[in-house]
Amino acid sequence: MKQRSPLKLSVIAAGLTLLVFGCASAQTVKYTVKPGTQSISIAASNFKFDPNLIEVPSTGVYQLTVTNKAGITHNITVKDPSGNVIASQTLPGGKTEQVSVNFKTNGTYNFLCTVDSHAELGMTGTFEVGTQGK
The residue within the footprint of Cu ion, chosen from 51, 64, 74, 111 (CB under 5 A), is: 74
Environment class of 75 (CB within 10 Å of its CB; exposed 0-12, middle 13-18, buried 19+)? buried
Tell me the three-class secondary structure of 59-107, residue by residue. CEEEEEEEEECCCCCEEEEEECCCCCEEEEEEECCCCEEEEEEEECCCE
The residue within the footprint of Cu ion, chosen from 118, 124, 125, 126 (CB under 5 A), is: 118
What is the DSSP pairing of strand 107-112 with strand 96-103?
A: unpaired
Binding of Cu ion at residue 48 (CB under 5 A)?
A: no
Q: How far apart are CB 73 and Cu ion at their closest, in Å?
A: 7
> Which residue lies nearer to Cu ion by CB, 90 or 131?
90
Q: How far apart are CB 56 and Cu ion at their closest, in Å?
A: 22
Binding of Cu ion at residue 66 (CB under 5 A)?
A: no
Binding of Cu ion at residue 113 (CB under 5 A)?
A: yes
Q: How far apart are CB 125 and Cu ion at their closest, in Å?
A: 12
Q: How far apart are CB 74 and Cu ion at their closest, in Å?
A: 3
Look at residues 38, 121, 27, 116 and name the one whose alpha carbon lies nearest to residue 75.
116
Give contact residues for Cu ion (rule: CB under 5 A).
74, 113, 115, 118, 123
